[in-house]
Structure 1
Amino acid sequence: MTDRRHALTPEALEMMDTIARTGSFAAAARELGKVPSALTYSVRQLEESLDVLLFDRSSRQAQPTAAGTELLHEGRRLLAQMDAVANRVQRVATGWETTLAIAVDNIVAPRAIFDLIEAFYALRCTESPDAGPLPTRLKLRNEVMAGTVEALTTGQVDLAIGLAGSPSLPQGLECAPLGTLEMLLAVAPHHPLAPLPEPLSMQTVAQHRIIAMADTAQRMDRHTFGIQPGQDVLTVPSLVAKLEAQIRGLGCGRLPEPLLRAHVAAGRLVVKRTEGMTSTVDLQYAWRAGPGMGRALAWWLQQLESPVTRQALLEQHAGLIL
């Protein structure tokens, strides 16, 4: 039992999570800064200590076995609890969290997020010049759709910005409105939909490839928006990739109106009115509530109460020029 307990280190649990998340030993090794052979050896050592097979070697993908899946589930829970304990200890001592993890949905303007990060790090200059840097480290995650909700509900982050719609959140989590974003169908000038009369019907749009962002949820049901039955789909990992694909005429799709402005003005994209499709999305931000809230989370929530900040998080896509 002692050997098994010693085998289950935070590093081993992080290694398991990275392999499962990246889908291969080679990709996990690159992310962890190890050579693949060293990572494979570490997994075998862990399997020998636990006397179980954690990954199915018969597949090209790193597929966890039933035992591996259970270890992943419990390991993620343990890592979250370790982080929570470290945060509580730090808050007791200074009022500041050790780490503040934030999930930002890809639909949120990155420039505004980094403006907030810059302002947060500047706090060390105003609170106490002799105190040095803030003890809180920021950990930023980029998520898409249900992945943003999942990161918060599974305890991987303390704050999530850009949740779509009105998500059902478990007890202990609170949310507030971020704002409403207009989403418009856009195509390249040389795309077959560009010269067609408006409004376009859903049947007409369905005849052409749509560019969709991949939902980053691992356990929750993944969402798809605007995809018609039988429609060809090109799935991309980010809003920047979606924008690039549509400018190249590889397909159609909805993009945030602030992101479209400069590209429409420059003639790179054409907005097409449609019938029978929702053109707006309501966005929220949510956080882990409860007594003893740390000063870092409190600061971020205070910034998000500002209408100017919330508008910037939706509007500053306008600066994204490829």
Structure 2
Amino acid sequence: MISPITLDALRVLDAIDRKHSFAAAAEALFRVPSAVSYTISKLEEDLGVALFDRSKRRAVLTPAGRLVLEQGRHILTATDELTRMVQTAAEGWELELRIAVDSVLDFAPVYALVAEFQALQHRTELLLSEEVLGGSWDALNSQRCDLVIGAAGEAIPGGIVTQALGEVDFVFAVAIDHPLRMQPLPLSAEVIRSYPTVVVADSSRYLPARSTGLLDGRSRVVVPSIASKIEAQCRGLGVGFVPRHRIDAELIDGRLHILPLQEPRPPQAVSVAWRSANKGKALRWFVERLARMRFDGRRGLVDRDGPPATPLS
């Protein structure tokens, strides 16, 4: 059965409801009033129901008419969305771009990039996610994402392109009232083992999980992200290494304190990564924009032509 409800009829019905009269709807649709009246009369005839209560002076929908209009608007919206998606794909822009951000990074610079992109092109849907340690490579390898920002360590093989960002500096931080602050400095690994360590769980689903900066304490508190690790250490639940650029506020308000170690953790190289087979315009825009950025150990992800780095304290 072919439905008598056409897109044109739905648009006419929508215009009448919004403009409150057949004449005003005709003007909005750049048609003569008789054409609008004919469209509605034909639809009513084909459906066998009245869509408007003609006993009223204004265009008032019947319950059946209201049902057709409300459901029809969903159809009109879906049709417009389909048109947008087809146009977007035809122009070489992805319908969606999935961006995984490594938990070691602050999301603020990524949000700034998203704002820049939206000012340029708002048709592509951006899906942001957070990954930890090997989870960034795992997300790219399993095609859970199209682009990784801040992937740590060596890239996985298999058609993956990388672009260096810089190195993340890690410091050993404890709560301001933690007993380790009373110990002789620099701290030895033996002294640290007496206290719980806060560890971020690797988010890999398929690749072997990675671990980094573990202190082999007597017990561990496992958390899902760097942000939660910082919070746990502020509360004195454990100790551990944290990215220096993520704890400025905690150092200023006194919730965390940096302690020197006999064996400090070396900086960690981070990269941007994507699959070479992906040629979409949105991916290319982000890759080219990120090429103009670098990772500053104190401030995080910044533009290369920004102010010079501040020496680490």
Identity of aligned residues (%): 34
* CA displacement at 1:219 relative to structure 2: 1.4
- Structure number having the greater helix percentage: 1
Of 247, 253, 256, the match for 1:269: 256
Question: Displacement, 1:296?
Answer: 0.3
> CA deviation digits over 1:203-252, x for unaligned, max 9?
11121101111111111111222224463100111222111111111110
Match of 1:151 among 128, 139, 148: 139
What 5-or-longer segments of structure 2 have no aligned partner?
Answer: 1-85, 304-313
Mapped contact 1:181–1:280 kept (Cα < 8 A): yes
Comparing 108-117 with 188-197, greater Cα deviation is found at 188-197
**Aligned AA (1:256):** P
TM-score, normalised relative to structure 2: 0.64
Q: CA deviation at 1:173?
A: 1.2
Counterpart pick for 2:288 among 302, 312, 319: 302
Match of 1:118 in 2: 115
- Where in structure 1 are there 5+ consecutive unaligned residues? 1-88, 125-133, 317-322
The aligned counterpart of 2:270 is 283
Q: Please tell me whether residue 102 in structure 1 is matched to residue 88 in structure 2.
A: no
Tell me the TM-score normalised to structure 1 length: 0.63
Cα drift, residue 103 of structure 1 = 0.8
Contact 2:153–2:270 (CA under 8 A) maintained in structure 1? yes
Q: Could you tell me which amino acid in structure 1 is paired with residue 101 of structure 2?
A: V
Residue of structure 2 aligned with 1:233, choices 220, 224, 227: 220
Distance in structure 2 (CA, Å) of the matches to 1:98 and 1:92: 7
**Residue pair 1:91, 1:294 contacting (<8 A) in 2 also:** no
Q: State the Cα distance separating 1:142 from its structure 2 match.
A: 0.8
Task: Provide the rounded CA distance (Å) in 2 between the counterparts of 1:192 and 1:116.
Answer: 41
Q: Match for residue 14 of structure 1?
A: none
State how 1:243-258 maps to structure 2 within 5 Å: 243-258=230-245
1:48 equivalent in structure 2: none
CA distance in 2, matches of 1:91, 1:155: 21
Q: CA deviation at 1:94?
A: 0.9
Report if aligned partners of 2:197, 2:216 keep a CA contact under 8 Å in 1: no
2:180 is paired with a residue of what secondary structure? coil
Corresponding residue number in structure 2 for 1:170: 157
CA distance 1:313–1:96, shift in 2 (3 Å): farther
Cα distance change on mapping 1:228 and 1:109 into 2, 3 Å: closer
Change over 3 Å in CA distance of 1:92–1:262 after alignment to 2:
closer
CA–CA separation in structure 2 for the residues paired with 1:226 and 1:172:
29
Matches within 5 A, 1:1-322: 93-124=90-121, 134-167=122-155, 169-229=156-216, 231-290=218-277, 293-307=279-293, 310-311=295-296, 313-314=300-301
Q: CA separation of 1:196/1:244 partners in 2, compared to 1, >3 Å: closer, same or farther?
A: same
CA RMSD across the alignment? 2.2
1:109 touches 1:315 (CA, 8 Å); kept in 2?
Answer: no
Letter in 1 for 2:208: D
Superposed displacement of residue 91, structure 1: 7.2
SS at match of 1:180: strand
Q: CA deviation at 1:202?
A: 1.1
Deviations 1:247-293 (A, max 9, x none): 11111011111222332232211101112242311111101113x71
Alpha-carbon contact 2:245-2:300 (below 8 Å) kept: no
Q: 1:113 to 1:172 in 2, by over 3 A?
A: same
How far apart in 2 are the matches of 1:115 and 1:295?
19
Larger-Rg structure: 2
- Contact 2:171 2:265 (C-alpha < 8 Å) held by counterparts: no
Note the C-alpha offset of 1:315. 6.7
Q: How many residues align?
A: 217
Equivalent position SS for 1:194: helix
CA deviation profile, 1:68-107 (whole Å, cap 9, x unmatched): xxxxxxxxxxxxxxxxxxxxx8776111011111111111
Q: How far has the Cα of 1:201 moved from its partner? A: 0.9
